[in-house]
């Protein structure tokens, strides 16, 4: 195909000297082809494999944002390695990882995960016989207890809310335990007022219901009744043009509230998720129930909240028995 295209371009170039006619003829020819820009340093063959891999992942239900991140990691890898995928060694991969000095351990784990997924695809499709990622060990993350607010701190945060929108945002984050992206994507039509549930789309494009308590219902109804717009988004901008509130803007809302109450703690949307889960565990909720509400695929992710509970019990015990 490349030879055929090259020949046609040569014929056009030899056939005319007029710049405008030449431009039009080339446009007409190139419009018959799908043209993709190859990132500098990447081979066309590598990019073909990468595009096929991304297509497979898309059919598996991965979000556009996730696919974009996958592609970015793999393009970076391809540019650095400058080798055919079949000749890449485990040492080449280690060199690439070491070239990213100063990155977080969690980022390192993500890079390895993406690369392992890519090479698993190449093995499955029989492009290669040996997987160089099999000898690459994923570093373990240190277990850190999630930083949750105490109920007193939660009340202070509530007192810092000035607008109806701020109050509704804080209550929805606390009541649902939802992730930032999940709450950003919420629509008014997702709410079942009678059942006090909101349908969210979580990681892996999985749908689940989350719950809202009476305080969240009250705050939401007051906020929604104050709005004059026709937007379906649950949280919108206050200034025109009225549109869905972005994740960055939601984070900014929390920063403004925290600044008003002079909190020492760094309170962001995910802290509300930790606070909700910790509160449930402390009030005797079963781990599997908390897991379902939070949308955790693995029980081990939820297990950390039980460790928080044990940690607090021990503190309470030591205050009594020294």
Q: Is 260 a catalytic residue?
A: no
Candidates 279, 257, 256, 254; CA nearest to 268 is 254
pLDDT of residue 265: 80
Tell me, rounded to whole angstroms, the distance of Cα 80 from its chain centroid.
Answer: 25
Whether pTM > 0.85 for this model: the answer is: no
pLDDT of residue 290: 87
21 domain residue, yes or no:
no
Number of domains present in the structure of the chain? 2
Rounded Cα–Cα distance for residues 239 and 99 (Å): 45
**Whether residue 102 is found in the same domain as residue 218:** no
pLDDT of residue 91: 95
| Number of other CB atoms surrounding residue 168 within 10 Å | 22
296, 312, 317, 319: which is the annotated catalytic residue?
Answer: 296
Q: Is 174 a catalytic residue?
A: no
pLDDT of residue 61: 80
203, 215, 221, 244: which is the annotated catalytic residue?
Answer: 203
4 domain residue, yes or no:
no
Q: Is 215 a catalytic residue?
A: no
Q: Is 268 a catalytic residue?
A: no
Q: Is 134 a catalytic residue?
A: no
The CATH number of residue 174's host domain is 1.10.443.10
**Whether residue 189 is found in the same domain as residue 265:** yes
266 domain residue, yes or no:
yes
33 domain residue, yes or no:
no
pLDDT per residue as tens, the chain (322 positions): 556 655 666 665 666 556 676 667 666 766 665 555 544 445 678 889 999 999 999 888 878 888 999 999 999 999 998 888 889 999 999 999 999 988 888 899 999 999 999 999 999 999 999 999 999 998 887 766 668 898 889 999 999 999 999 999 999 999 999 999 999 999 999 999 999 999 999 887 889 999 999 999 999 999 999 999 999 999 999 999 999 999 999 999 999 999 998 887 889 999 999 999 988 888 888 888 888 889 888 787 777 776 766 666 666 667 656 5
Q: Is 273 a catalytic residue?
A: yes
57, 165, 167, 179: which is the annotated catalytic residue?
Answer: 179
- Give the tokens for residue 322: 């020294």
**Whether residue 164 is found in the same domain as residue 206:** yes
Partners of 191 in beta bridges: 198
Residue 261 host element (H or E): helix 247-261
pLDDT of residue 320: 57
The CATH number of residue 67's host domain is 1.10.150.130
The boundaries of the domain holding residue 261 are: 151-320
């Amino acid at each position: 195909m490349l030879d055929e295209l090259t020949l046609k371009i040569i014929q056009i170039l030899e056939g005319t000297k007029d710049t405008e006619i030449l431009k039009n003829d080339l446009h007409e020819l190139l419009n018959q082809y799908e043209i993709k820009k190859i990132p500098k340093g990447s081979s066309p063959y590598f990019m073909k494999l990468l595009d096929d891999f991304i297509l497979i992942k898309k059919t598996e239900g991965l979000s556009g944002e996730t696919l974009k991140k996958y592609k970015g990691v793999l393009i970076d890898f391809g540019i650095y390695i400058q080798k055919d995928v079949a000749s890449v060694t485990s040492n080449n991969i280690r060199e690439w990882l070491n070239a990213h000095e100063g990155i977080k351990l969690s980022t390192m784990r993500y890079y390895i995960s993406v690369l392992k997924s890519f090479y698993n695809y190449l093995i499955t499709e029989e492009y290669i016989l040996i997987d160089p990622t099999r000898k690459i060990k994923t570093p373990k993350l240190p277990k850190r207890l999630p930083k949750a607010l105490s109920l007193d701190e939660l009340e202070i945060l509530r007192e810092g809310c000035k607008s109806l929108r701020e109050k509704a945002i804080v209550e929805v984050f606390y009541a649902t335990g939802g992730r930032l992206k999940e709450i950003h994507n919420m629509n008014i039509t997702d709410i079942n007022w009678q059942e006090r549930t909101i349908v969210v789309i979580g990681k892996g494009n999985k749908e689940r219901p989350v719950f809202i308590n009476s305080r969240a219902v009250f705050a939401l109804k007051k906020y929604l009744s104050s709005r004059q717009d026709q937007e379906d988004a649950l949280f919108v901008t206050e200034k025109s043009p009225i549109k869905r509130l972005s994740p960055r803007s939601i984070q900014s809302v929390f920063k403004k509230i925290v600044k008003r109450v002079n909190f020492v703690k760094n309170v962001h949307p995910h802290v509300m998720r930790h606070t909700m889960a910790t509160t449930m565990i402390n009030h005797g909720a079963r781990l599997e129930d908390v897991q379902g509400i939070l949308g955790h695929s693995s029980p081990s992710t939820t297990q950390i909240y039980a460790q928080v509970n044990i940690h607090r019990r021990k503190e309470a015990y030591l205050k009594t028995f020294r």
